[in-house]
């Protein structure tokens, strides 16, 4: 039976790179995102990257800030795959601002998208992992999870909270042999930096993060990588 991976926000950037890495590695891959056209394109392209014909690709339109849509996505995944080996809570949004100047409701929007989505989807998929005494959760945090910076505002708050969620899950899930890894990447060349005048060499590559996720997951059952900080070689931007 093929192993399976679920990735939120998987049609672009880090999520897309991780999906491509694991489909090439023989996994069933489930991806959710908000834009239907992106999902339709990705469904075709991932299918063409399969290592063997028995692999399945599931793409679903889902606003991860909405609990009911996450429930439907989780149900579709479990119906299609039967079980989940890896969950990558990658979906999120960056909106700049200063706490004392931000528009009302910005914090709530960022918390719902960047934190609650991971909380709810983890809870929906964990019962199967606990029953099987096996699984791996990757939470896409950020260098903003450990260091506040100008114009980071509520985004940084949401990412500090995401790291807190990840640490709590790590402690709770030890007894069930479920691994939890917090990824804290710095500036990566994705759509969030679209239009930048900075050279490509100033950013990390999404493929590097995807390769790291693959390598971390394939360590022995005796070892878990709890937390990884990644930055461009010249430092934060």
pLDDT reported for residue 194: 75
pLDDT digits (tens, 9 = 90+) for 170-217: 999 999 999 999 999 998 878 777 778 889 889 999 999 999 999 999
The answer to the question of residue 236 being in a domain is no
Decide if 35 is inside a domain: yes
- pLDDT given at position 56: 96
Distance from C-alpha of 4 to C-alpha of 25, rounded to nearest angstrom: 11
- CATH code, 171: 3.40.50.720
51 to each of 76, 149, 218, how far by Cα in Å? 23, 42, 17
Of 121-135, 146-160, 168-182, 192-206, the range with the lowest mean pLDDT is 192-206
Q: How confident is the model at residue 148 (pLDDT cuts 50, 70, 90)?
A: very high
Q: How confident is the model at residue 112 (pLDDT cuts 50, 70, 90)?
A: very high
Helices H / strands E in the chain, number of each: 7, 7
Instruction: Summarize pLDDT for 33-77 with one digit per residue, the tens.
Output: 999 999 999 999 999 999 999 999 999 999 999 999 999 999 999
- Looking at the predicted structure, is the pLDDT value of residue 92 above 90? yes
pLDDT mean over 110-136: 98
Of the given ranges (28-32, 151-155, 196-200, 201-205), which has the lowest mean pLDDT? 196-200
Biggest CA pair distance of the chain: 54
Q: 119 an active-site residue?
A: no
Q: How far does CA 47 lie from the centroid of its chain?
A: 20
Give the tokens for residue 178: 């479920």
Residue 237 lies in a domain: no
Tell me which residue range forms the domain holding 21: 4-230
User: Is 223 domain-assigned?
Assistant: yes
pLDDT for residue 191: 74
Instruction: Tell me if 25 is assigned to some domain.
Output: yes
Q: Give domain status of residue 226, yes or no.
A: yes
Q: For 119-146, what is the mean pLDDT?
A: 98
Sheet containing 28-33: order of strands: 57-61, 28-33, 4-8, 86-89, 135-140, 178-185, 227-230
For residue 33, the SS3 value is strand
Q: Is the pLDDT of residue 142 over 90?
A: yes
pTM metric for this prediction? 0.96
Number of domains in the chain: 1
- Whether 168 and 179 have beta carbons less than 8 Å apart is answered as no
Helices (H), the chain: 13-24, 36-47, 67-81, 106-111, 117-132, 153-173, 206-217
Q: Is 151 a domain residue?
A: yes
Query: Is 142 part of a structural domain of the chain?
Result: yes
């Amino acid at each position: 039976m093929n192993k399976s991976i679920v990735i939120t926000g998987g049609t672009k950037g880090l999520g897309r790179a991780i999906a491509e890495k694991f489909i090439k590695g023989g996994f069933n891959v489930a991806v959710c995102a908000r834009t239907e056209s992106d999902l339709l394109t990705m469904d075709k392209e991932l299918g063409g990257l399969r290592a063997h014909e028995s692999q399945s690709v599931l793409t679903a339109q889902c606003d991860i800030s909405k609990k009911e849509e996450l429930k439907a996505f989780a149900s579709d995944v479990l119906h299609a795959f039967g079980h989940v080996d890896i969950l990558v809570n990658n979906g999120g949004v960056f909106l700049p601002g200063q706490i004392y100047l931000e528009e009302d409701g910005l914090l709530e929007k960022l918390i719902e998208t960047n934190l609650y989505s991971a909380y709810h989807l983890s809870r929906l998929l964990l019962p199967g992992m606990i029953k099987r005494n096996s699984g791996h959760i990757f939470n896409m945090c950020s260098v903003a999870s450990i260091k506040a910076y100008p114009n980071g505002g509520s985004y940084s708050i949401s990412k500090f909270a995401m790291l807190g969620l990840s640490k709590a899950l790590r402690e709770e899930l030890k007894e069930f042999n479920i691994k939890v890894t917090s990824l804290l990447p710095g500036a990566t060349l994705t759509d969030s930096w679209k239009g930048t005048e900075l050279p490509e060499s100033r950013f990390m590559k999404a493929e590097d993060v995807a390769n790291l996720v693959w390598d971390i997951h394939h360590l022995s059952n005796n070892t878990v990588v709890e937390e990884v900080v990644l930055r461009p070689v010249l430092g934060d931007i």
